[in-house]
Amino acid sequence: MDLKSKIILIYGPTASGKSEFAVKLAKKINGEIINADSIQIYKELKILSARPIKKKYKKIEHHFYGFKSVKKNFSTGDWLKLVNKKILYLKKKNKVPILVGGTGLYFKALTDGLVNIPTPPTKFRYKIRLLHKKLKSDKFFSKLVKLDPLVKNRIQPSDSQRSIRAYEVKLFTSRSIYDWFKRTKSNYEIKDFFKIYIDFPRNELLDRINLRAREMIKKGAISEVRKFIKLKVRKDKTAYKAIGIREVNEYLKKKIEIDEVIEKISIKTRQYAKRQSTWARGNMQNWNRMNPISLKKFLKKF
């Protein structure tokens, strides 16, 4: 199998061993690794984001890890611009770009293109959120379908986030969000990619998640969060969504014990892993699904 002409994409739920597999593959095919995780970009969140350790992977170049301040905004569009340039650069060096991460939207932007929808004013968006809160999910969705019939059978009534987004796009631009999607194009063709989805057995994945939560505490997550809180990062920043910040902060305020911190982090991480798997089912049907056994067999081909 000739992968050296491809752009390799590796996606999977958190704690599924993506980074380790990517390094092994990179060694075999002369690759370099590009981060596709929206939390691992932040320099202040090394432990909570489970960022690859430089000492362990020093022989393989890693790009866009720990390079952004938690106080700064960093959009999918920002990521895509950097990654497109890096892919071109690596190709010129005859290196294989290997993108690794668990942020589905990053991969979708790369393979399908990024939707450039005008952003409504904050007050405009706030009014729609108030409307959703007032009507509740089902009634709001019925109103959305009347406003934009194209969303029917494409969005679930219970999916509040997507329903609200579709409503505000249609109301603000007079065009369905799905019309905007049609106008979107990627810089690449389907044949340019080789896509791997790591499909880890659920019970084993849960064990790995529980172990990771305990290891994070041992490695210094408490200290990391203490420093993060001192930075006074606004709560609407993406970095604040990192699992563990709120839980550890509760411990620092002496509201919960350390065992409860670990349990809460484990639960939230399991929920996140489930959302990642759900994303894959809906958006990655044409990816090569590989479990740990098939990943080992795959590596032996090179």
Residue-wise pLDDT tens digits, 203-217: 999 999 999 999 999
Question: What mean pLDDT comes out for the span 264-278?
Answer: 95
Whether 254 shows a pLDDT value over 80: the answer reads yes
Mean model confidence pLDDT for the chain: 93
Most confident of 24-33, 56-65, 110-119: 24-33
148 belongs to a structural domain: yes
* Average pLDDT value for residue range 115-125: 87
Residue 29 lies in a domain: yes
Residues 243-264, mean pLDDT to the nearest whole number: 97
57 CA to centre of own chain: 21
Number of helices and strands in the chain (H, E):
11, 6
Specify the pLDDT at position 73: 84
**31 part of a folded domain:** yes
Average pLDDT over residues 94-115: 94
Return the SS3 of 196: strand
At 31-55, the pLDDT tens digits run 999 999 999 999 999 999 999 987 7
- Asked if 68 and 174 sit in the same domain, the reply is no
Structural domain boundaries enclosing 79: 7-115+185-200+279-299
> Does 260 score more than 80 pLDDT?
yes
What beta strand segments (E) does the chain contain? 7-11, 31-35, 62-63, 96-101, 193-198, 288-290
* Amino acid found at 166: A
Residues 37 and 129 in one domain: no
Per residue in 157-205, pLDDT (tens digit) is 888 888 999 999 999 999 999 898 887 889 999 999 999 999 999 999 9
Residue 127, domain member (yes or no): yes
- The answer to whether residues 209 and 250 belong to one domain is yes
Record the tokens describing residue 130, joined without a space: 């108030």
Cα 210 from Cα 269, distance rounded (Å): 9
Q: What pLDDT is attached to residue 51? A: 94
Q: What is the pLDDT of residues 75-92, one digit of tens each?
A: 898 999 999 999 999 999
- 262 falls within a domain: yes
Tally of domains within the chain: 3
pLDDT attached to residue 117: 85
73 and 147 co-located in one domain: no
CATH code for position 212:
1.10.287.890
CATH code of the domain containing 193: 3.40.50.300
User: In Å, what is the CA distance from 104 to each residue of 11, 61, 117, 213, 261?
Assistant: 8, 23, 19, 22, 27
Q: Do 175 and 259 belong together in one domain?
A: no
Percent of the chain with pLDDT over 90: 79
Q: Residue 269's closest CA among 191, 195, 215, 231?
A: 215
